Every structure is written in structure tokens, then in C-alpha cells.
A and B are shown apart, each in its own frame.
Chain A
């Protein structure tokens, strides 16, 4: 393991488990599912979702800021603020040219685009808001973060569907490692709980239809799992070159020790049945971190609660890490937050290492007997010093991150 790997020096979380790091960790370790019926989805075949509870953008950002932002950017900005606060970074006190923003999103401001299309169709061109593109474009959340804090290094957006947040963290890591920047705000954001998006996922049979008992719908690795529950949220990390962090006596949550990224080149939505791409990503992350599979104390799995993903992912984990590997999925609590998921889960992995606790998988009362790995059905004490987080996305994207204790 390398002490020169970039450090996670700040974390900001806005998720269905709540707003803020402390609230998130509490709900995640208590395994309280966030799934509920959603009035926006009323009348659709699937009407359940995992929303961020009590998110008041006017109160959190100021009305003059909030009304010009799509929800996906509002969530990201709130998470970015907390990440900088927990890192003790005061924007005016770091060299703005040496700070990057790398933010992943699967769909950007799609909600705005849908609403404006409706306005155009119904009421004509005069009804289309001048905010349509400033709110709707997929790069605007990272752009708005740069504007808010005055950061002037590379400001990028990554889009690898449900791996977007993890990809952003990996890309930011590369910018730090190459010496392009000293500090990066990196993470993912998503807010597309809309009738169109939910119907789209339903039409490819990706969503759980367990709508009569919403809290039991997201059940990764469980028998009877039948799809994911759509969620929303944003997770942001402050990543920092270790010398820079040392220089300002920054908090040390974890090292971002390894990153691996591959593609299946197989199918638009289904994972390759041999799991070779996912396996290669995990092995690349381990090699990059220079640690052995046996040193991984737990895996925060992609674990979406779909039949295909969870069985295949568990097989791959077993191949790479062996029978003893302990696997958990925090999506039992948060649902699948799509482009935010990789970032939220990287943060949960860092918190698990810091607390020495592997969070349980919610709703895992009856594990799928076909799954051979050890599953965290309850919160487990884990003294290990390294953990791995997987994220996979439509398009065949596979991303693995290795985090280690600082």
C-alpha cells in the first residue's frame, strides 16, 4: 500500500438516507430502507422510489441560487459544500487554478428538459424557459460548482450511466496523480425520478415490481429480488495529493489507493455473462493499489437487487477475492441512485474503514442460496485496512475503487 496515494480529505452526502455524513452513516448502518410510494409516479406500473428526505433547496442554497438549478445540480451543490466544509477547505485559501471538479451524472438535467418539452408542445415556443439549457445540460452541475467556489482547474463531467460517480473519482485521481491539480472535488449526482425515466427502466424490466411492500423492494442478494428501486442523490469527495493535505494538516478519511476501469463491449444493458470485464476492473484496481485480494476486508458491491447483476457480481467477487470475501450492498437502504451511486458508495466505503464497521445489506433476511460469498446480513465489525467498491453501468462500463485506511 502506498502512502503517496491521494487522500480523501472531505465527504459530502445527500441521499435517500438523509442529508449530511452523520445522518447517512446512521441510516446506512441501521439498514433503514428509504423506499416509499411516490406521488410523482402515481398511476404508473411502478410507483415507488427512494427520494432525498426533506430536501429544501431554497433553505440550503438560497432562493436566488436554487431556482436557476435543476435538482441534479442542487443536490450536487449541497454535497459539494459539505465536502469542502468537512475537508476544512476555504475556497479563497487554495490556489483556484490547482483545483479540479469532476462530476458524474447519467442523465444531467433531464427533468428540466422533459418539463420544457411539455411546455413547448402544449403552449408553444414562448412558453419555453430561458433557463432550459443552463439548467438542463449535463455539464452544468460541475460548471455551477466551479462558479460557486471559484475553482478554475479542469472542470469535467463523466457519464458512464450507473458507474458515473465512480468514474469521476477515478478521473480526478488521475488528475491528482499526474500533478495537474492539488485538490479535486469529485463525485456523482442524479435526480431523474420522473415518469418518463421510471417508465423507461420499467420497459426494460430493470425495476422491482414489489410495490405492495415498498420497504422490501430493494433487496440485494436476497431470494425473491426482482429489480432495483430508482433513487436520487449526490455524493462528493474532496480528493487531495497527500503532500498538499499534509501541508495544511487536512483531515484524513481514507486513501484512494486504486482505480480500475474496463468495458464489457458486449451488450447495451446486460452484463457479459462471464463477468470478465468486471473481473478485470477489480483486478486492475487491486494492482493499482498494490495490495492482494486477501487484504480486502469488504466489498461495497454494485448490488442493485436485479437478478442478473447480483448473482454475477458475487461470482466475480468470489473469483477475485476468494470465498472469505465479505460483501455488502448499501442499495438496500438508498435504492439505486444511478450516476450518484458510485460516489455515495465510495464514501460509505471510506466511512466503513474509518469506523471499522461494515454496513449491513437491508432486507437480506434470506440470502440467495446460489450466492457463494459471505454476505453482511447485519453490521459487522471489520478491523481490515482496505476495501473495494464496485460500480457498473449500462453500456458495459465496469469501475472498481480501492480505498485504504490513512
Chain B
């Protein structure tokens, strides 16, 4: 798991109480039990942790955990 996925997993488990085993690449927001408010909150935390500003619309358009990490990677430049 790359650094972005690790950090995102940590945010989901610590801040949103998502079970670690539920965090998978293909997991949807529904699988992660994140409602629309939680999705916008997640955008806030991504901004704090990665310095990446995602609009609410961008957050709501994402469909899976992999989608989120991919978009963050694209915005921060070079993922490790």
C-alpha cells in the first residue's frame, strides 16, 4: 500500500470509525458507510493532510477508495 493509501486508511479508520477490513481498493462510499456530509468532511481532511483542495463536487463524483487515492496522487504530483 502506498503512502497515500496508508494515510487515507488511517483517516477512514480513526476519524470515521470505518473497520480496517472494509477499506479495499474497490470499496465505494456506500461500502465505507460515508454519507454525503462525511464525503465533504473527508475532502476537508484530505486538504489538511495532503494540501490538496478537492471541491465538494469532485468528492461527491468519486466512486471508490482507488478513485480517491488516484485523484490525490494526480494532484500532489509524484506518488511514492
> How far, in angstroms, from A219 to B40 measured CA to CA in the complex?
48
Interface presence of B14 (CB below 8 A): yes
> How far, in angstroms, from A134 to B44 measured CA to CA in the complex?
15
Which listed residue (B14, B44, B53, B55) contacts A63, Cβ 8 A? B14
> How far, in angstroms, from A221 to B55 measured CA to CA in the complex?
56
Chain A residue with minimal CB distance to B53? A126
Q: Nearest Cβ in chain B — how far from A125, in angstroms?
A: 11
Task: Find out whether the CB atom of B17 lies under 8 angstroms from the CB atom of A62.
Answer: yes
Q: How many residues on A have C-beta within 8 angstroms of the other chain's C-beta atoms? A: 11
Task: Find out whether the CB atom of A130 lies under 8 angstroms from the CB atom of B17.
Answer: no
Q: Mark B6-46, 1 if CB is under 8 A from A, else 0.
A: 00000000111100000000000000000001001100100
> How far, in angstroms, from A134 to B55 measured CA to CA in the complex?
20
**Chain A residues positioned under 8 Å from B53 (CB to CB):** 126
Known contacts A126-B53, A129-B44, A67 near B37 by CB under 8 Å:
no
Q: Mark A181-214, 1 if CB is under 8 A from B, else 0.
A: 0000000000000000000000000000000000
CB-contacts of A48-67 with B (<8 A): 62-65, 67
CB-contacts of B34-73 with A (<8 A): 37, 40-41, 44, 53, 55
Q: Mark A123-141, 1 if CB is under 8 A from B, else 0.
A: 0001001110010000000
Chain A residue with minimal CB distance to B16? A64
Q: Nearest Cβ in chain A — how far from B37, in angstroms?
A: 6
CB-contacts of A61-120 with B (<8 A): 62-65, 67-68
Q: Nearest Cβ in chain A — how far from B72, in angstroms?
A: 17
Chain B residue with minimal CB distance to A66? B15
Which listed residue (A64, A126, A134) contacts B15, Cβ 8 A? A64
Task: Find out whether the CB atom of A67 lies under 8 angstroms from the CB atom of B15.
Answer: yes
> How far, in angstroms, from A130 to B44 measured CA to CA in the complex?
8
**Chain A residues positioned under 8 Å from B14 (CB to CB):** 63-64
Task: Find out whether the CB atom of B15 lies under 8 angstroms from the CB atom of A130.
Answer: no
**Chain B residues positioned under 8 Å from A62 (CB to CB):** 17
> How far, in angstroms, from A65 to B16 measured CA to CA in the complex?
8
Chain A residue with minimal CB distance to B37? A130
Chain B residue with minimal CB distance to A126? B53
**Chain B residues positioned under 8 Å from A126 (CB to CB):** 53, 55
**Chain A residues positioned under 8 Å from B44 (CB to CB):** 129-131
> How far, in angstroms, from A67 to B16 measured CA to CA in the complex?
10
Chain B residue with minimal CB distance to A134? B37
Which listed residue (A65, A68, A130) contacts B40, Cβ 8 A? A130
> How far, in angstroms, from A406 to B16 measured CA to CA in the complex?
44
**Chain B residues positioned under 8 Å from A130 (CB to CB):** 37, 40-41, 44
**Chain A residues positioned under 8 Å from B41 (CB to CB):** 68, 129-131
**Chain B residues positioned under 8 Å from A64 (CB to CB):** 14-17
Chain B residue with minimal CB distance to A130? B40
**Chain A residues positioned under 8 Å from B15 (CB to CB):** 63-64, 67
Chain B residue with minimal CB distance to A68? B41
**Chain A residues positioned under 8 Å from B55 (CB to CB):** 126
> How far, in angstroms, from A134 to B37 measured CA to CA in the complex?
10
Interface residues of B (CB under 8 A from A): 14-17, 37, 40-41, 44, 53, 55
Interface residues of A (CB under 8 A from B): 62-65, 67-68, 126, 129-131, 134
Residue pairs across A and B with Cβ atoms less than 8 A apart, 16 shown, are A62-B17, A63-B14, A64-B14, A64-B15, A64-B16, A64-B17, A65-B17, A67-B15, A68-B41, A126-B53, A126-B55, A129-B41, A129-B44, A130-B40, A131-B44, A134-B37
Would you list the 8 A-B pairs with minimal beta carbon distance, nearest first?
A64-B17, A130-B40, A63-B14, A130-B41, A129-B44, A67-B15, A64-B15, A64-B16
Known A126-B55, A131-B44, A134-B37; further 15 A-B contacts with Cβ < 8 A: A62-B17, A63-B15, A64-B14, A64-B17, A65-B17, A67-B15, A68-B41, A126-B53, A129-B41, A129-B44, A130-B37, A130-B40, A130-B41, A130-B44, A131-B41
